[in-house]
Amino acid sequence: MGQVTKYYDDHAEKEWVRLTQDAYHMLEFLVAAHYLDKYLPKKRGLILDAGGGPGRYTIHLARKGYDVVLQDLSPQCLEVAKREIRNAGVEDHVKKIVEGSIVSMAEFPSESFDAVLCLGPLSHLIDRTERERAAREVVRVAKNDAPVLASVASRYGVFRAFLQLIPDEIIDPSHEELFNVGIHRGHPTPHKGGKGFSTVDAYFFLPTEVKELFESTGLKTLEMATCEGLSSRLQEATNNLYRDKQKWNRWLELILRTCNDPAILGMSDHILYVGRKNA
């Protein structure tokens, strides 16, 4: 995980602003927040933000009155989180900030949390056994009947990103593993497009994979959604629409109403999974 830690240490400030940099990227946050409101215990409880990076969701939940523990493997992301938690004035609700990996969370006793978030880090585990171990850890620390929300990078979404951003690389032999099994191995230098995780290991999920992964741990699947919904890969049009707040609000309403439609589930950049731990 050394290259992943280095990537996020080097990009900690960018990661803090990633979900607010424009309307298109805001959708990932807004859709996740919609499902947090829907499934988290109402305004009380201790929540683990596992792999929460610079704390965007931690602060969001703390502002709503939840107690939160933030965990991440990037020391620099956690430093940004500490700063932004202070700036937001929510220190009283952030009970602990822990450096560590989702693959092993021995610092947390079983059944410690009223809800667990794992929004993103599973997509950096290219080894199947590590993904399975991480999923078990995420579920282990959740209390019985607690909701678990996880987001992952979508395989079909990355295929569409190739078409849009770096079509010349579709036939590059170095991407064969990605197109066949969803594994991208980090390169020391960015690809021609210079986008995304080109320098770091990443795993891109099919919707059925993330569902099967968590159901194998005993979770009951409640819902799945696409974080970008009908806007997927339509960045320019989405950002243009944001200039007209009436049209934007109507579009956001459509996004939230349709983002769990199986017809579009695998076509987005990110897939959101919601499950509940069975007693």
* pTM check: above 0.85: yes
Average pLDDT over residues 246-252: 98
Average pLDDT over residues 24-42: 97
Residue 194 binned pLDDT confidence (cut-offs 50, 70, 90): very low
Contacts of 116 (CB under 8 A, 6+ apart): 47, 48, 50, 138, 139, 141, 142, 146, 147, 148, 149
Judge whether residue 212 has pLDDT over 70. yes
CATH code of the domain in which 61 resides: 3.40.50.150
Average pLDDT over residues 108-129: 97
Owning domain of residue 176: 2-277
Judge whether residue 43 has pLDDT over 80. no
pLDDT tens digit string along 139-192?
999 999 999 999 999 999 999 999 999 999 999 998 999 999 999 998 766 555
Structural domain tally of the chain? 1
pLDDT above 90 coverage of the chain, percent: 91
Judge whether residue 123 has pLDDT over 50. yes
